[in-house]
């Protein structure tokens, strides 16, 4: 048992996927030329006013409902003031004391980043609020530039309770959160594009102690991996300080990926006073029970519910269900195929062992998967129905990646239909025996392992099309007669 | 043809234009000529670009000739306070920090005025960022009162009020956060109207205090105020706080009241107990009350018990909002930038050089009242008092249709007379409650003081009560103690 308990809470920022920005009609689009997705409003020019994006509000409420949050009947925006060049108005429109979503919880399970199996656990959600993203600073030699394309993009902040006790749990929480956002079409959560960012609050206390230790915040972690690594690093750093009789000071730290270290950004003394006050340019938002019920009725199946269904009604193992629900597109793919397949379990095996491996080898992201699920189902049926052998199936499968043809077309073009005719196979068996007297002798001497050698010979002659059961049966008969 | 324009109203100009007795170019030319003569003394305009004015006037005349006038007022000039954006024009808020910036977009009110064919006529001086009651806080020039050039025109819309009073333009737009339309209107002998909060879109009005700001007209008479309000009010998708359009015309049927029988005018007893209420102003109030009585109105006493906290409340809420609203002026993206080595230094030097003393004072005040540890004592409490002030008015409107008060405790004062900021803040004591309550108020000239300066009365109506308020104002205007308000300039 370790000397310290680790207490972790996460603040996760997720960009909401909408057509336009939070408070103006500029497109919410990534990867454009700097300062091309801007207007007087998101540039904070003199005289402009914000106009709220209803879709962003709806999606935030949806995120709250997906996390079992209480939805506020009355909510408002506030101004958060601080000076920084990436913020056009030098205040950010955010939400302070009346966020759109209150308390909720998120179920996490499965494996952590280290691969360790985690116990099922509920992580409390403190709140989810909606705000506007800021611009991006680009530093050049001797000067800096500001790109305001991102300024005003709707951004959710999801604050968790300090319910996590390891880097693996934090990783699993982030994974679950990302899943939910993708499932409900709230965000793509592409971390490379900055659509999901994470701050970690972490403290250590003596094992079993009631009171929390002093917490340290690690800011701006832009991958799950760096979140995991920074937590592991910070646990060691804090433990070393405490072991040496030192005290942890409340502070904000940054993370350098290349050095694998956290470093001091600012101490508590230099913390900002954000001077929050209600945004006078926007009216408060009110939601009736009917409004909330309407959004509730549009909720998609949760990943957790999907996993349970896959196990209970489709006969998958919990592990298979976990793998197939990791990604929304993947789970939709399987779900669609399961409706067509006689054996969803076999389809699952094919997706996990063949399709995902092949995509991975070819470095193709799942959304670009070229194999229609109907083709994969057809292939599985060809195998299970005995039309082709497992070996031929693999050949067909790699053909499927080329696209266009159905498995049946490929099978007939390549003449891969399985040979189950005894007399045809008997000819291959006799040839194999006649051509290999040495191995026959070995067999007779009791070295039954050479059986595999004969199977291989027959398969080679039949170009892999001979029915393996019949091959085995006939070989045994003939060899025993020798 | 040479015409005398100094007393022309929008509706009179519209008749002259319709009857082809005058063209828009002639009208504007007469105003520009007069402005060129008077401006060295009055200094109402920060910018008066003849080329821009005449190209609009010419286009208007062409429309009229081809029968394609955009409205009866097509071709009538309106001056714009320098805190309302016009595409391609400067908009400095009379502040050095915005020098050199041209706005890339039209304010919603400007868009609407253009749609009616009004000629945008110059940009008027103001207290920097609308913070002040005398126009002395302008970073560029001090505007004089046309009735006495040793006196201030009031503020913050002092340039707009002075330009209309001096007959340099037919009408003007102002903005009113605590009395900035009504007080200068009273001090210059013109009409100043602040509609209900949200009636007119604020999009394109450079914000001072967002929950209090309201654009409104400054005009020669009540009818013109109604005409401009008609042209500008209504829901705007760019302003989330704008009120739904009510599809009513304030100008239509404006003169329909023959008398004020059945109308109840509320007199808040607190207003007449205010320390520093000038005896002459008080006398004009009494004469005005007599006018209402003679018209058959019932005078009822009402009470606004929390109005004594209005000035203090205002300087908490307005400065808090201003401290955030003015944060964007940092020299990073536009406007003046003082070049230094570091980011913090750039902020400090730019804002230090760009803002005037009163603006700095209010930013500091607003930053303080929002600071951690002080927020509840100031901002939260201020909001609570604001609610009580609003309730006072709701209570009063159970007993009366409109409330009558002075606009300003004194007539126009001399330059530098109120060097103590607190003394200056008290100049708005009668007008501030209206903004805090979010209701509508109008300043209508009533008489001329013994000292030769004009004095207006203020009528305050309930939420969305513009129609009745303007009708009552209109009948008062026809029966007021003095008919004509023409400065001796």
Best to test chain A binding among B330, B341, B364 (most A CBs inside 10 Å)? B330
Query: For this structure, is B156 an active site residue?
Result: yes
Q: What token pair was written down for A153?
A: 């993009």
Q: What token pair was written down for A116?
A: 């360790």
Q: Is A46 in contact with B372 (Cβ distance < 8 A)? A: no
Q: Model confidence over B310-349: pLDDT tens digits?
A: 999 999 999 999 999 999 999 999 988 998 888 999 999 9
> What pLDDT score does B2 carry?
58
Give the end-to-end CA distance of chain B in Å, rounded to a whole number. Answer: 23
Quote the CA–CA distance of B266 and B405 in Å, as a whole number: 9
The sign of the dihedral angle between the CA atoms of B384, B387, B392, B395 is negative
- Nearest Cα neighbor of A61 from A303, A293, A284, A283 is A293
Contact A299, A65 (CB under 8 A): yes
- Nearest Cα neighbor of B297 from B468, B440, B441, B183 is B468
Q: Which residues of A touch B238 (CB under 8 A)?
A: 49, 51
DSSP structure string for A100-118: SB--EEEEEEEE-TT--EE
Quote the CA–CA distance of A192 and A190 in Å, as a whole number: 5
Q: Is A273 in contact with B327 (Cβ distance < 8 A)? A: no
Catalytic-role residue among B156, B163, B242, B408? B156
Quote the CA–CA distance of B484 and B9 in Å, as a whole number: 13
Strand pairing category for B264-268 and B298-302: parallel
Go through A452-469 and write b for each residue having 16 or more CB atoms within 10 A of its CB, e for each that does not.
Answer: eebbebbbebbebbbbee
Q: Is B103 in contact with A45 (Cβ distance < 8 A)? A: yes
Q: Which residues of A touch B237 (CB under 8 A)?
A: 51
Best to test chain A binding among B238, B334, B359, B438 (most A CBs inside 10 Å)? B238
Q: Which residues of A touch B85 (CB under 8 A)?
A: 46-47
The single residue listed with the structure tokens 């409109």 is B402
Alpha helix (H) residue ranges in A139-223 = 167-183
Using 50 as the pLDDT threshold, list the residues of chain B that sit under it.
1
Task: Return the residue of A nearest to B239 by Cα.
Answer: A49
> For the complex shown, is ipTM > 0.90?
yes
Helix (H, G, I), strand (E, B), or coil: what is residue A89?
A: coil
R_g of chain A, CA atoms, integer Å = 30
Q: Is A91 in contact with B327 (Cβ distance < 8 A)? A: yes
The pTM for the full model equals 0.89
DSSP structure string for B122-167: EEE--SGGG--SSSTT-SS-PPPBTTBTTB---SSSHHHHHHHHTT
Helix (H, G, I), strand (E, B), or coil: what is residue A158?
A: strand
Give the end-to-end CA distance of chain A in Å, rounded to a whole number. Answer: 66
- Domain limits of chain B? 10-232
Q: Is B238 in contact with A51 (Cβ distance < 8 A)? A: yes
Contact B296, B259 (CB under 8 A): yes
Q: Is A52 in contact with B240 (Cβ distance < 8 A)? A: yes
Q: Considering only residues 78 to 97 of chain B, which have any Cβ-Cβ distance to chain A shorter than 8 Å? A: 83-85, 91, 93
Determine whether domain A422-481 maps to CATH 3.30.1310.10. Answer: no
Strand pairing category for B298-302 and B119-124: unpaired
- Number of H helices and E strands in chain A, helices first, is 16, 15
> What pLDDT score does A367 carry?
83
Quote the CA–CA distance of B144 and B163 in Å, as a whole number: 10
- If chain A, 482 residues long, is cut into consecutive pieces of 10 residues, what is the mean pLDDT of each piece? 90 97 96 96 97 97 96 97 96 98 90 76 96 95 93 98 95 92 92 94 94 94 93 95 94 92 85 93 96 93 89 91 88 93 91 90 88 91 81 83 82 76 84 87 84 87 82 85 78
> What kind and span of H or E run contains A473?
helix A468-481
Is any Cβ of chain A less than 8 angstroms from the Cβ of B98?
yes
- Nearest Cα neighbor of B222 from B171, B152, B263, B169 is B171
Q: Give the CATH H-level superfamily of domain B10-232.
A: Amidase signature (AS) domain (3.90.1300.10)
Quote the CA–CA distance of A418 and B402 in Å, as a whole number: 97
Q: Which residues contact B409 (CB under 8 A, 6 or more apart)?
A: B274, B276, B277, B278, B281, B426, B427, B429, B430
Q: Model confidence over B11-41: pLDDT tens digits?
A: 999 999 999 999 999 999 999 999 999 999 9
The beta-carbon contacts of A302-307 under 8 Å, at least 24 apart in sequence, are: A302/A66, A302/A180, A302/A183, A303/A176, A303/A179, A303/A180, A303/A183, A303/A331, A304/A107, A304/A109, A306/A331, A306/A335
Contact A52, A286 (CB under 8 A): no
* Phi (first) and psi of residue B91, to 5 degrees: -155, 90
Contact B34, B25 (CB under 8 A): no
Q: What token pair was written down for A302?
A: 């949760």
- Domain limits of chain A? 4-292, 301-414, 422-481
DSSP letter for A326, please.
Answer: S
Contact B139, B21 (CB under 8 A): no
Task: Return the residue of B nearest to A41 by Cα.
Answer: B238
Alpha helix (H) residue ranges in B377-431 = 381-396, 421-425
The whole-angstrom distance between B121's CA and the closest CA on chain A is 20
Contact B430, B408 (CB under 8 A): yes
DSSP letter for A355, please.
Answer: I
Quote the CA–CA distance of A304 and A172 in Å, as a whole number: 13
Strand pairing category for B119-124 and B77-81: parallel
Q: What is each CA distance from A352 to A323, A331, A344, A382, in whole angstroms? A: 8, 12, 12, 18
Is any Cβ of chain B less than 8 angstroms from the Cβ of A315?
no
Quote the CA–CA distance of A60 and A56 in Å, as a whole number: 6
Q: Which residues of B touch A79 (CB under 8 A)?
A: 324
Helix (H, G, I), strand (E, B), or coil: what is residue A51?
A: coil
Query: For this structure, is B180 an active site residue?
Result: yes
Q: Model confidence over A200-242: pLDDT tens digits?
A: 999 999 999 999 999 999 999 989 999 999 999 999 999 999 9
CB atoms within 10 A of CB A402: 9
Is any Cβ of chain B less than 8 angstroms from the Cβ of A51?
yes
> What pLDDT score does B60 carry?
98
Alpha helix (H) residue ranges in A105-222 = 167-183
Helix (H, G, I), strand (E, B), or coil: what is residue B191?
A: strand
Quote the CA–CA distance of A264 and B395 in Å, as a whole number: 57
Q: Considering only residues 77 to 96 of chain A, which have any Cβ-Cβ distance to chain B shorter than 8 Å? A: 79, 81, 83, 85, 88-91
């Amino acid at each position: 048992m370790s000397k310290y308990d680790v207490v972790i809470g996460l603040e996760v920022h997720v960009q909401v996927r909408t057509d336009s920005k939070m408070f103006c009609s500029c497109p919410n689009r990534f990867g454009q030329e700097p300062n091309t997705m801007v207007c007087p409003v998101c540039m904070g020019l003199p005289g402009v006013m914000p106009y709220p994006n209803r879709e962003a509000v709806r999606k935030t409420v949806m995120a709250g409902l997906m996390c079992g949050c209480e939805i506020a009947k009355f909510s408002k925006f506030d101004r958060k003031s601080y000076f920084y060049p990436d913020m056009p108005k030098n205040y950010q429109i955010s939400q302070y004391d009346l966020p759109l979503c209150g308390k909720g919880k998120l179920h996490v399970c499965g494996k952590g980043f280290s691969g360790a199996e985690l116990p099922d656990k509920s992580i409390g959600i403190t709140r989810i609020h909606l705000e506007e993203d800021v611009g991006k600073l680009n530093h050049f030699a001797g000067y800096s530039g500001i790109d305001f394309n991102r300024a005003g993009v709707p951004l959710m902040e999801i604050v968790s309770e300090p319910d996590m006790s390891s880097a693996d749990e934090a990783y699993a929480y982030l994974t679950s959160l990302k899943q939910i956002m993708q499932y409900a079409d709230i965000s793509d959560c592409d971390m490379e594009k900055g659509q999901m960012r994470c701050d970690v609050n972490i403290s250590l206390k003596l094992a079993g102690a009631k009171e929390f230790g002093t917490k340290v915040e690690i800011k701006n972690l832009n991958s799950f991996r760096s979140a995991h690594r920074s937590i592991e690093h910070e646990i060691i750093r804090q433990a070393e300080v405490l072991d040496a009789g030192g005290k942890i000071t409340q502070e904000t730290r940054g993370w350098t990926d290349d050095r694998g270290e956290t470093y001091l950004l600012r101490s508590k003394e230099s913390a900002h006073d954000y001077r929050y006050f209600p945004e006078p340019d926007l009216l408060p938002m009110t939601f009736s029970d009917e409004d909330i019920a309407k959004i509730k009725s549009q909720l998609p199946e949760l990943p957790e519910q999907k996993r349970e269904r896959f196990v209970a009604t489709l006969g998958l193992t919990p592990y298979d269900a976990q793998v197939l629900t990791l990604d929304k597109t993947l789970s939709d793919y399987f779900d669609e195929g399961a409706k067509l397949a006689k054996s969803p379990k076999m389809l699952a095996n094919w997706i996990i062992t063949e399709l995902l491996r092949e995509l991975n080898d070819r470095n193709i992201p799942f959304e670009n998967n070229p194999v229609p699920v109907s083709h994969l189902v057809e292939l599985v049926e060809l195998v299970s129905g005995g039309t082709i052998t497992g070996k031929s199936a693999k050949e067909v499968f790699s053909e499927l990646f080329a696209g266009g043809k159905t498995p049946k077309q490929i099978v007939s073009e390549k003449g891969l239909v399985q040979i189950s005719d005894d007399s045809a196979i008997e000819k291959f068996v006799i040839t194999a025996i006649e051509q290999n007297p040495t191995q026959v002798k070995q067999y007779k001497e009791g070295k039954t392992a050479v059986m595999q050698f004969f199977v291989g010979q027959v398969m080679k002659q039949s170009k892999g099309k001979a029915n393996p059961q019949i091959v085995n049966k006939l070989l045994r008969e003939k060899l025993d007669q020798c | 043809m040479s015409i005398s324009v100094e007393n022309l109203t929008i509706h009179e100009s519209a008749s002259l234009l319709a009857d082809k007795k005058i063209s828009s170019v002639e009208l504007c030319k007469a105003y520009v000529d007069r402005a060129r003569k008077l401006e060295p003394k009055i200094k109402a305009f920060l910018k008066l670009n003849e080329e821009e004015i005449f190209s609009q006037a010419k286009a208007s005349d062409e429309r009229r000739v081809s029968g394609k006038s955009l409205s009866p007022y097509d071709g009538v000039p309106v001056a714009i306070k320098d805190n309302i954006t016009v595409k391609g024009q400067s908009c400095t808020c009379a502040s050095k920090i915005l020098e050199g910036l041209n706005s890339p977009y039209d304010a919603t009110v400007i868009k609407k005025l253009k749609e009616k064919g009004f000629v945008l006529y110059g940009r008027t001086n103001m207290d920097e960022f609308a913070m002040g009651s005398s126009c002395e806080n302008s970073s560029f020039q001090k505007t004089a009162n046309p009735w006495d050039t040793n006196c201030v025109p009031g503020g913050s819309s002092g340039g707009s009020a002075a330009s209309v009073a001096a007959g340099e333009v037919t009408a003007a737009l102002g903005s009113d956060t605590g009395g900035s339309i009504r007080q200068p209107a009273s001090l210059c002998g013109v009409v100043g109207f602040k509609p209900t909060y949200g009636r007119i879109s604020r999009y394109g009005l450079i914000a001072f205090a967002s929950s209090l700001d309201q654009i409104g007209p400054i005009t020669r008479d009540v009818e013109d105020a109604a005409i401009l309000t008609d042209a500008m009010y209504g829901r705007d998708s760019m302003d989330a706080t704008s009120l739904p359009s009510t599809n009513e015309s304030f100008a239509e049927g404006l003169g329909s009241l023959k008398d004020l029988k059945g109308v109840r005018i509320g007199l808040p007893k607190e207003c007449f107990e205010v320390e520093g209420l000038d005896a002459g102003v008080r006398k004009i109030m009494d004469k005005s009350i007599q006018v209402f009585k003679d018209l058959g109105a019932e005078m009822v006493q009402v009470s606004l018990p929390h109005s004594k906290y209005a000035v203090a409340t205002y300087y908490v809420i307005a400065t808090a909002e201003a401290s955030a609203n003015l944060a964007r002026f940092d020299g990073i993206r536009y406007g003046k930038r003082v070049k230094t080595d570091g980011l913090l230094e750039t902020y400090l030097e730019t804002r230090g050089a760009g803002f005037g003393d009163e603006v700095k004072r209010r930013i500091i005040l607003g930053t303080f009242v929002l600071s951690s540890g002080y927020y509840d004592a100031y901002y939260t409490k201020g909001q609570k008092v604001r609610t009580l002030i609003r309730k006072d008015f709701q209570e009063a409107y159970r007993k009366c249709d409109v409330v009558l008060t002075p606009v300003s405790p004194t007539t126009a004062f001399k330059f530098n007379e109120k060097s103590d900021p607190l003394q200056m803040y008290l100049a708005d004591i009668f007008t501030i409650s209206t903004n805090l309550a979010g209701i509508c108020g109008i300043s209508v000239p009533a008489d001329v003081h013994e000292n030769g300066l004009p004095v207006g009365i203020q009528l305050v109506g309930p939420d969305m009560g513009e129609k009745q308020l303007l009708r009552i104002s209109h009948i008062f205007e026809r029966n007021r103690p003095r008919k004509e308000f023409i400065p001796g300039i």
